[in-house]
Structure 1
Amino acid sequence: MGRLEGKVAIVTGAGSGFGAGISRRFAAEGAKVLVCDINQAGGEATVSSNPDLLSFHKMDVTKSADWKATMDAVLQKFGRCDILVNNAGWSYTNKPTTDVTEEEFERTFDVNVKGVYLGCNAWVQQAMERKEGGVIINIASVGATRPRAGLVWYNASKGAVWNATKGLALEYGPHQIRVNSICPLVTGTGLFSAFTGVEDTPENRQKFVGNVPMGRIGEVDDVVNACVFIASSEASFITGVNLEVDGGRCI
């Protein structure tokens, strides 16, 4: 028996990076997963690793109509949805705040904050109606509480997710719905260059470990492992937690 046997999950931004890793591991632990991404090629590549348990659904997390279609799809295909992973995220390239355009600011908050708002609103009603509880996992960032220059508005968007995670946990705890976030350090994903403003090379990665007690940047599996634990019954009394997966960076 896998740790998520019999569960059904939605994972957004699942065509690459954390989302792809989370989807594959959830399936390996026995869950059925609706793999959601605006990038069809990426989403289908994720599904190809386990087509029996993974199913692709194209969506834009910033559109309420897409969220309605997503919930219709997961309920039609799997009959229920126990877990929502709000992973889809976006960032402009690290640069002076005065160089951030209005369009970049809006897209950052649309994807990172509005996407979580729409996702939670779309998912939570069916979870309450089933009266069996459920799990929401939001992917935030260490930048939510330890912001740095160059990514001010990205970090602010993740600060909103950090705060909303606690509020949602308080509001939906009586329905046995747990809400937590994972707050990763910069990791070796496709967003490394955007976050750091430099090319993703071994030499450049090394530049960002000086203030990390464990001496490395994050890996996708660090976040994936945390998500599996939080989604599982092993974490049944954990809610409202913003879990830093950062090698001690936020100490």
Structure 2
Amino acid sequence: MTHINVLDPGASPLDYYGFELRRLREAANLTQRQLGDVLNYTGSLVGQIETARKVPTVEFSERLDAALVTGGLFSRLLTLVMRSQLPAWFQQVAELEARAVEICSFQTHMVLGLLQTPAYARSVLGAVHKTDLDDRTAVRLARQRVFEKDEPPVFWAVLSEAALLLEIGSRDTMRGQLAHLLTLEEDPRINIQVLPYSSGPHAGLTGSFDLYRFAGDPTILYTESYGSGHPTANPDTVKDCSLRYDHLRAAALSIKDSAELIRRVMEDRYGAQVA
């Protein structure tokens, strides 16, 4: 257990967050309990975050910035904290997501992390083990803040129909997840297409992949296996998968027809009445 008196602000972004929280709290002559009362959290939680034993949330950071008048310090630090809490092999992906001007994703069997609801993400992450599940879920969802930037990336997602039918979590979880996809239908920067089973053999049979495009850097192709990620800028590989993605988008339903299929699955498979 990390002791507050030996917390090293240079050890990690989470340690630095805790160090600054402690420093500014003490400068305001507040105990952990008093600050917790102001924030509407427990003093125990404040202490856990100060000692880098608990990952802060967006809401906690925003309340902290307001209470200690930090000018948004903790909200800005939170991006680094969340990225540092990702598995080491995935941290580069979070950096790619944050820098990309366009992201193209093909998923064979589930909704990808950038579009997941809290309940769906929790079910995915808890499929094998439930250790630190709250924190791991919060860290995954924090990646979605890329859509809140002044200039968010243009995002294309091609989902296999299997992603709609594989029941992850519960019927309620799936209804919520599919409803969330439908709320994105009118966002011109987020484009979701479903690749139906009826399309037959397609260009993505080898597996899921993502393409990250940048304003001044080469496109990066990212693929994933158990416990490891494989980014590459090899021109031939990137060119091949870019062509594959074009074929996948052409074979998929239109954005409008994809939304209709999502609505139909919600009604027929998960019992939702969709207006």
With structure 2 as the length reference, what TM-score do the two structures score? 0.28
| Bigger helix fraction | 2
- Look at both structures and tell me which one has the larger radius of gyration over its CA atoms: 2
With structure 1 as the length reference, what TM-score do the two structures score? 0.30
